[in-house]
Amino acid sequence: MKASLIEDEEMRLALLRGYNILDTAPHEGFDDITKLAAEICGAPIALISLVDDNRQWFKSKVGLAIEGSKIDDSMCAHAIAARNYLEIQDTAADPRTADNGFVTGPDQIRFYAGALLEDDNKLPLGTLCVLDKEPRQLNDFQRRALKVLAVQVMRQIELRKALADAEVLRKEVDHRVKNSLQSLEALIRIQVRKEKSPEARAALDSVQGRLATISQLHEALYLTDSGAAVDIAEFLRKVAHSTSEQMPAGVHIEIKLEQTNLSSRSASSVGMIVNEAMTNAAKYAYQDRERGAFIISGERRGGFYHLSCIDDGPGIPATDPSGSGLGMRILTAAAQQLG
């Protein structure tokens, strides 16, 4: 016997499909609950069954090999129609299930108990259910446990939707930030070409380099799978590649970096140090020279990460041993941020 539809069936189906859980891969979090339900209820079969308009699909299953069934054979649909916990102690004797394919077919299911999976508005998606091949009944503890576990299934579904929604939002924000940074870099490049003052051009070049470092950091964060941690070796290669455009044609850049993960804030400071070191070398280290070298190296030693940026130029002028320029002030500030 096919279950009757509830009054707000269209809303229920829209809710189910909005969770984007149908036909998804198995998940350990759901499987653990299904196994626990089977063990507590002493049942050979337990299912997390989601009821669509023309089928029921099993997100998790114990003791049953199939992925789902047509809606006419869904006992869980009767639980949804009842809008309550449903227990059928002998499916062969109940008119709702006597002609059900699971009862009359090779599975010979004779017992069913299902607790609804409901959202906060009491709209049901399906059930957490247990089945047996012998007529029986659950005790009060087993019924309560099945209902509590059904609530946990629903929390798992809601959590995964919340995480998916957050990921979509993050990608949208990342996309907009990336576009904004690219637009700003393009505007600065246009202004550099228009600017006639050497001092203003140098200042804009410096701003563009720092903006490129921020853009590279954003890209590193966007592509990483480890949250706010950045692979410093890969990140600094991107920074060096971007900043190398400022170097004279004859300068060879050598990069020897050992991988390690840093927080985004620390990575930003390290990236700024490399950018400033390369930018200042491009301006001052290779004057009146056709060739030169710039080496970036990083390795883990004694619980620390040692970073070196070395050029083969003349070094800081003897007349300014402390380095009072803007670049040195930025390097010092970045180092202070790193502690």
pLDDT in tens, 123-138: 999 999 999 999 999 9
CATH number, domain of 288, equals 3.30.565.10
In a domain, 45, yes or no: yes
Cα 237 from Cα 223, distance rounded (Å):
15
Mean pLDDT of 149-160: 94
Cα 298 from Cα 331, distance rounded (Å):
17
In a domain, 77, yes or no: yes
The count of domains in the chain is 2
147 and 267 assigned to the same domain: no
In a domain, 21, yes or no: yes
Q: Which pTM was predicted?
A: 0.61
Query: pLDDT tens-digit profile of 199-227?
Result: 777 777 767 766 776 776 666 555 555 45
- DSSP at 72: G
In a domain, 213, yes or no: no
136 and 276 assigned to the same domain: no
In a domain, 219, yes or no: no
Question: Half-sphere exposure (CA, 13 Å, Cβ side) for 158?
Answer: 11
Tell me which residue range forms the domain holding 293.
227-337
Mean pLDDT of 100-113: 95
**Which residue is listed with tokens 């649909």?**
77
pLDDT of residue 226: 47
Q: Is 338 exposed, middle or buried (0-12, 13-18, 19+ CB in 10 A)?
A: middle
144 and 20 assigned to the same domain: yes
What one-letter code names the amino acid at 279?
Answer: T
Report phi then psi at 44, rounded to 5. -75, -15
SS3 call for 48 = strand
In a domain, 65, yes or no: yes
Q: Which helix (H) or strand (E) holds 178?
A: helix 140-194
154 and 17 assigned to the same domain: yes
Mean pLDDT of 55-61: 96
In a domain, 296, yes or no: yes
Question: Which of 51, 83, 46 lies closest to 70, judged by CA?
Answer: 51
CATH number, domain of 118, equals 3.30.450.40
Cα 183 from Cα 185, distance rounded (Å):
5
SS3 call for 282 = helix
Distances (CA, A) of 280 to 11, 246, 274, 331: 63, 10, 10, 11
151 and 275 assigned to the same domain: no
156 and 31 assigned to the same domain: yes
In a domain, 199, yes or no: no
14 and 158 assigned to the same domain: yes
Q: Which helix (H) or strand (E) holds 85?
A: none
Is the Cβ–Cβ distance between 45 and 63 less than 8 Å?
A: yes
Cα 151 from Cα 115, distance rounded (Å):
9
Identify the domain boundary among 162, 182, 206.
162
pLDDT of residue 218: 65
Identify the domain boundary among 162, 177, 205.
162
